[in-house]
Structure 1
Amino acid sequence: MTADPTEGDIDTHDLVRELVSSLHHLRHVDLDAVGPALGLAIPPQHPDPSQAGEVKSLSKQERLDLAFDALAQNNHEAVCARFLQRSDLAIELRHRVEDLIWERENWPQITTRTRRDIAEALDAFDAIWLEADGLLNLVKRHWVPRSHEWSFDPKDPYEPVVRHMFRFPNDWTTVEFFKEIGALDGGDRRFALFLEGLLSGSVNPSEARQRKMAAAISPILARAGLKITESGSTDGYPAFAIVAAGTRPRPAQLILFASRHGKPALRLRDVLDQSIEVLTGDDTVLAYDVPVSDRGLTWRDVESWWSHRKGISADQAKLELWRRLVTVCADVSPVQHALFTTYYDYAKDHDPLFALLPEVWLHWDPVSRRQRGENAFLDQRMDFLMLLPGLRRVVLEVDGEQHYATSSRQPSPRIYSETTRGDRDLRLTGYEVYRFSGYELSEDRATNTVAEFFNRLLARI
């Protein structure tokens, strides 16, 4: 049955059809291999001879058309994401796929005026590059110059960039350069990634210069709700990321989750390197020790980590991990178990499936809360944590009586004030916090509650 896109999804429908058709240059045998990797059910060239009726071999285009027709609409974006892994994808197609995916992230708007102001701020430098090859590769990665129509080399749309930026570097101002490559009105996320590239060591291999350029454009980006953070280093030079204001400056490096009763035993292996060693076994807490990329943390990432950690198959790891997490949630409370299982039932057909991790340590103090007194950390553990693209950290809390009442079930303004203060602290340090009541997660309400919330949350990705 042919996919029947809704009006709002026509662009995605047409783009996926074009992507599938772009495989026409492959051999029949190559189509057999590439189909599963792209999430496509490409029928064989020679149908099963045991079928009744005349057996007719299929052309490559017929095979691709049938594969597209068999593709469910809710898998279109997943197929788009898989095509991005192909090195032979035409640059125009690659850009359209990227723009489609990035559009879903609800990236803050970067207006033309903001981009012009950034260009003018960069004009204060003699040139916006120290390494010509680095800048040219950056432009080729993100843009197709509009000036290619009058290129001296019709086969090379980037010849004008070489001519006006490198051979005659005074020909173009930075504003003109942005205009000619399409950066003044290209996608918001694409423009942000392009700026990250300009600030990189591959384009400007001078740390002092990198930092001066970042300082020059930071106030302008702030007006657009963005900020520049130092996310690490690449080839010995600082690596900068442009993120929405309020997000954490670095990806998560260690996640302690699925915590059972009791505090895990930790120690600093190397104080100078802030290297934390987890002494407690897996029976008490799980330690995800793989740095999380800015693409977020998916259930597949966690499965793969557990498979390698235990030296077991992916299927066995998936089953073991699922049982462990479900048991932890059930031990805490029925409503926490309801949120966890209902989310994965809701999201099982989504790709990527972002991991929802239960019982995650936020703060850790070797001294007990009773000993620490008023200076003790609030909300030492989070009920659930999701790490989404763009360094977003999403905390989900299920409100039981402990959030507003004493152990004798008497309402307590003090306990409630600690809960609300803990939320404020989290938000001010870049976490998104969402609370659910037990009533919302009762048996007859959980499905609708979870679907409504995650439809809106994940629509921003």
Structure 2
Amino acid sequence: MAAADPTEVDIDARDLVRELVSSLHHLRHVDLNTVGTALRLVIPPEHPDPSQADEVKPLSKRQRLDLAFDAIAPSDYEAVCAGFLQHGDLTIELSHRVEDLLWSRENWPQITVRTRREVAEALDAFDAIWLEADGLLNLVKRHWVLLSTEWSFEPKDPYEPVVRHMFRFPGDWTTVEFFREIGALDGGDRRFVLFLEGLLSGAVNPREARQREMAAALSPILARAGLKITESGSTDGYPAFTIVAAGTRPRPAQLILFASRHGKPALRLRDVLDQSIEVLTGDDTVLAYDVPVSDRGLTWRDVESWWSHRKGIPADQAKLELWRRLVTICADVSPAQHALLVAYYDYAKDHDPLFALLPEVWLHWDPVSRRQRGEDAFLNQRMDFLMLLPGLRRVVLEVDGEQHYATSSHQPSPRIYSDTTRGDRDLRLTGYEVYRFSGYELSEDRAASTVSEFFDRLLHRA
């Protein structure tokens, strides 16, 4: 799906949020009093001033909801949509529209009609594209809204044509026709990707050899669209396939060593066969986030919750402790790194989800020193900042200090600079997005504008 014009996106989001808020009109006044928090809304009470309840006419439900909508800042439209998707009682059609709006921000590669047709034609080679009819029907109902085209006093099942042409009389539709009828030829890019993942799943095709053959047939077609199929695990004993943008990592992060003070953490392999890593260094040296990160990305709330459970302390205390640790670490490294951290969290504090920006993250680790390892030593072992965003995106931010281009005696060094640029290339070729900032951009009078402009574009909020 091509990136939308920012003005159009804001209008679409505003109109959708207005519709979502208006959909609460069926609730009782007393229910509106409690539903606001879960849905990230500020709904005024029926009697704004209880002391004048007998003299002033109470607000109608429509007035209360209009005021709640007016109180929503445009920057919060996406958060409100996410709240309704998680906690609201939405129709299937409205739920899909909310999903499409949120997914449109994830910058998925455009999947053209031609690519979708080629996918369908490749699937035709397998005769029926399903082994479990219920699995395919549930998949279609999950991702595509079909409307009945027949008028009758008796409501018609809009999915009946799928049952008739795909199951009762298999072969009536080619896969291209099937895609056209359900809307897969022109639906959202992210929705189409999730639909294909479902076709490759054991719920629809519970035969491993068939799953792998279908994945192999689709791989070269999707590669031309900038996508790749990876095996990300298993579900109910069958392989689980995930489609990601080419260059991204096939698996979510399993361990993050961050907020590292100077000095290399002590590690050892507990089980070589399972690649199980044990961190021997205490929290005073490095923090080890050991919760697998989902494909929704890593949020600040996730990190707070992890620290709260790890330490057995309240969430507010965990939040304060972590923040002090991150700020102290960055201030010890450089004023510019400290400025980027503070400016980001000040910029993003009202955004939901608030994706975590983690400083001083270990990427490579070698028990042997670089002097001993020689030319085969890892470059850029530690990253200044790491963000894990939806869609398995791994974003590295680097603040360029003198150490990136000069020797300890402050002499410019082409060798050091070449190591820096080569390390960047290595990261990009293994699926990381790398962005560099100069200290000048993060000076006191420039940090806020630099950070807000960058993250507006990175997080697709512009």
2-side partners of 1:201 and 1:49: how far apart? 58
Match of 2:32 in 1: 31
> 2:177 aligned with 1:167, yes or no?
no
Please tell me the root mean square deviation across aligned C-alpha atoms, in Å.
1.8
Q: Decide whether aligned partners of structure 1 residues 262 and 399 sit closer, same or farther in structure 2, where only a CA change above 3 A counts.
A: same
TM superposition shift of 1:48:
3.4
Q: Is the 8 Å Cα contact of residues 131 and 203 (structure 1) preserved in structure 2?
A: yes
Q: Is the 8 Å Cα contact of residues 39 and 88 (structure 2) preserved in structure 1?
A: no
Counterpart of 1:398 in 2: which secondary structure? strand
Give the share of equivalent positions with the same residue, in percent. 87
Q: Which amino acid aligns with 2:133?
A: A
Q: Is the 8 Å Cα contact of residues 229 and 243 (structure 1) preserved in structure 2?
A: yes
Match of 1:313 in 2: 314
Match of 1:403 in 2: 404
Counterpart of 1:229 in 2: which secondary structure? strand
1-side partners of 2:37 and 2:258: how far apart? 33
Counterpart of 1:267 in 2: which secondary structure? strand
Q: Decide whether aligned partners of structure 1 residues 10 and 53 sit closer, same or farther in structure 2, where only a CA change above 3 A counts.
A: farther
Q: Which amino acid aligns with 2:375?
A: E
Match of 1:223 in 2: 224
Counterpart of 1:125 in 2: which secondary structure? coil
2-side partners of 1:382 and 1:183: how far apart? 40
CA-to-aligned-CA distance 1:121-178 (integer Å, 9 cap, x gap): 00111211111111111111110225x3149973421111111111111211111110
Match of 1:75 in 2: 76
TM superposition shift of 1:62:
2.9
1-side partners of 2:144 and 2:229: how far apart? 22
Q: Decide whether aligned partners of structure 1 residues 424 and 6 sit closer, same or farther in structure 2, where only a CA change above 3 A counts.
A: closer
For residues 218-297 of structure 1, the aligned pairs below 5 Å read: 218-297=219-298
For residues 121-132 of structure 1, the aligned pairs below 5 Å read: 121-132=122-133
Structure 1 segments of 4+ aligned residues over 6 angstroms from their partners:
none
- State the number of aligned residues: 456
Q: Which amino acid aligns with 1:306?
A: W
Q: Which runs of 5+ in 1 are unaligned?
A: none
Counterpart of 1:149 in 2: which secondary structure? coil
2-side partners of 1:339 and 1:320: how far apart? 19
Q: Which deviates more from structure 2 when the two are superposed, residues 103-112 or residues 81-90?
A: 81-90
Match of 1:373 in 2: 374
2-side partners of 1:64 and 1:23: how far apart? 8
Q: Which runs of 5+ in 2 are unaligned?
A: 1-5
Match of 2:361 in 1: 360
Q: Is the 8 Å Cα contact of residues 151 and 157 (structure 1) preserved in structure 2?
A: no
2-side partners of 1:213 and 1:132: how far apart? 17
1-side partners of 2:184 and 2:7: how far apart? 31
2-side partners of 1:8 and 1:217: how far apart? 32
TM superposition shift of 1:231:
1.5
Q: Is the 8 Å Cα contact of residues 47 and 56 (structure 1) preserved in structure 2?
A: no
> 2:50 aligned with 1:49, yes or no?
yes
Counterpart of 2:419 in 1: which secondary structure? helix
> 2:26 aligned with 1:61, yes or no?
no
Q: Is the 8 Å Cα contact of residues 132 and 166 (structure 1) preserved in structure 2?
A: yes
Return the TM-score normalized by structure 2: 0.95
Match of 2:149 in 1: 149
2-side partners of 1:177 and 1:145: how far apart? 12
Counterpart of 2:51 in 1: which secondary structure? coil
Q: Which amino acid aligns with 2:95?
A: R
1-side partners of 2:8 and 2:192: how far apart? 28
Return the TM-score normalized by structure 1: 0.95
Q: Which deviates more from structure 2 when the two are superposed, residues 97-106 or residues 48-57?
A: 48-57
Q: Which amino acid aligns with 1:225?
A: G
Q: Is the 8 Å Cα contact of residues 404 and 411 (structure 1) preserved in structure 2?
A: yes
Q: Which amino acid aligns with 1:163?
A: R
